């Protein structure tokens, strides 16, 4: 049993060596920190020959050195360790002030030291593409990516700004237009459950398009039986999106669309429905919990026009003919990719 315990201790020591001894050592000196950025967010890198952007705030320093047994320490890996530390304290920039390259008589690792920076959003956005291109040029110089621009040419969208969004929402909705019930029907069909889902694509400048489904579900009682009322809506939409905050976790969106709406009523095995034109306007906000998942809330205005009902409701005013308008208040999940 004593030999078995000794073996376990040896295995544990070996595992500890493999997980820590083979990686470069990282040392940080932190003067100030902010909420952590999303893991993997792009960090701008300024080389030793580059001048420090004037409005940059120095949050601290990070040093990455050879641990004595490091093997995973090429330029890209070492820089990534420094970027990870910068993201942890809410920074978005690095300014190198020391860099030792591998040598035959010395370490086989790249060793660096850099100031961790917080750049204003305006500087970060304006410098992003040129800075990423410069980073890729340095990686190409070390043979870590092709020099022909086939990999990461420096014009990609920042990681934190995903182009595609899936939204799934549920909430409360109420009808604002007149809704007429036949005699003997009880209940309030003007309040109900709202469920909607959308796919949205937005470009780097925040303009895009999407596809939306919205459903309104309620019921009333008629002669002791439940009458189910449903209103379904499908439409393409035009989308505007604005990201905010230093970590780009907050976003606001607006959408407008025109599509197909269908109203149905069902009581037992009997059902009927009509289709028509629908339109919507929605505004909302969201917050990224991680790189790919967020939560959000929105307010939407939906309208429909059923021309086939015009004859049946000719006794009403023109603005009341064959139309249903509603307001929806909902919230739910966002998925980014």
Contacts of 22 (CB under 8 A, 6+ apart): 67, 69, 70, 71, 72
With cut-offs at 50, 70 and 90, classify the pLDDT of residue 171.
very high
- More confident site: 184 or 89: 89
3-class SS of residue 201: strand
Q: Contact at 8 Å (CB) between 43 and 91? A: yes
Q: Give me the residue spans of the domains in the chain.
A: 21-141, 164-336
Contacts of 111 (CB under 8 A, 6+ apart): 24, 63, 64, 65, 66, 78, 98, 99, 100
Number of other residues whose CB lies within 10 A of the CB of residue 109 = 24
Q: How far apart are CA 24 and CA 17, in angstroms?
A: 12
Model pLDDT, residue 69:
60
Model pLDDT, residue 11:
41
Q: What share of the chain is helix, strand, coil (3-state, %, to 5)?
A: 20, 45, 35
Q: What is the DSSP letter of 9?
A: H
Average pLDDT in the chain: 82
CATH number of 164-336: 2.40.160.20
- What confidence tens digit (pLDDT) does each residue in 248-285 have? 788 899 999 999 999 988 887 888 888 899 999 999 99
pTM of the model: 0.53
Average pLDDT over residues 310-326: 56
Average pLDDT over residues 9-35: 67
Hey, which bits of the chain come out as E strands? 25-30, 44-46, 57-65, 93-100, 111-118, 164-175, 185-186, 191-202, 207-222, 225-244, 250-267, 270-288, 293-305, 323-336
Q: How far apart are CA 108 and CA 231, in angstroms?
A: 67
Average pLDDT over residues 136-152: 70
Burial environment of residue 72 by CB neighbours within 10 A (0 to 12, 13 to 18, 19 or more): exposed
- Dihedral sign (CA 276, 277, 283, 285): positive
Model pLDDT, residue 148:
55
């Amino acid at each position: 049993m004593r030999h078995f315990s000794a073996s376990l201790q040896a295995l544990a020591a070996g595992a500890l060596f493999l997980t820590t001894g083979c990686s470069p050592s990282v040392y940080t000196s932190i003067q100030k920190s902010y909420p952590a950025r999303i893991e993997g967010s792009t960090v701008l890198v300024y080389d030793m020959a580059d001048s420090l952007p004037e409005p940059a705030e120095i949050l601290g320093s990070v040093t990455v050195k050879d641990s004595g047994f490091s093997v995973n320490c090429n330029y890209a890996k070492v820089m990534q360790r420094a970027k990870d530390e910068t993201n942890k304290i809410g920074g978005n920039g690095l300014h190198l002030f020391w860099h030792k390259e591998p040598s035959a008589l010395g370490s086989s690792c790249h060793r660096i030291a850099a100031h961790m920076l917080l750049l204003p959003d305006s500087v970060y956005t304006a410098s992003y593409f040129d800075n990423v291109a410069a980073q890729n040029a340095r990686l190409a110089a070390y043979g870590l990516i092709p020099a022909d621009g086939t990999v990461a040419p420096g014009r990609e969208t920042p990681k934190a700004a995903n182009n595609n969004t899936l939204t799934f929402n549920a909430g409360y909705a109420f009808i604002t237009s007149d809704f007429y019930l036949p005699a003997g029907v009880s209940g309030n069909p003007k309040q109900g459950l709202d469920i909607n889902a959308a796919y949205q694509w937005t470009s780097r400048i925040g303009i895009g398009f999407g596809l939306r489904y919205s459903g309104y579900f309620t019921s009333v009682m008629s002669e002791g039986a439940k009458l189910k009322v449903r209103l379904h809506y499908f439409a393409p939409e035009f989308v505007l999106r604005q990201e905010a905050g230093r970590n780009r976790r907050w976003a606001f969106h607006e959408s407008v669309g025109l599509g197909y709406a269908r109203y149905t009523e069902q009581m037992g095995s009997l059902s009927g429905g009509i289709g028509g034109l629908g339109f919507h306007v929605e505004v909302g906000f969201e917050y990224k919990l991680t790189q790919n998942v967020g939560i959000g809330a929105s307010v939407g205005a939906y309208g429909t026009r059923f021309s086939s009902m015009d004859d049946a409701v000719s006794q009403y005013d023109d603005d009341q003919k064959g139309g249903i308008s509603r307001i929806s208040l909902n919230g739910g999940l966002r998925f980014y990719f």
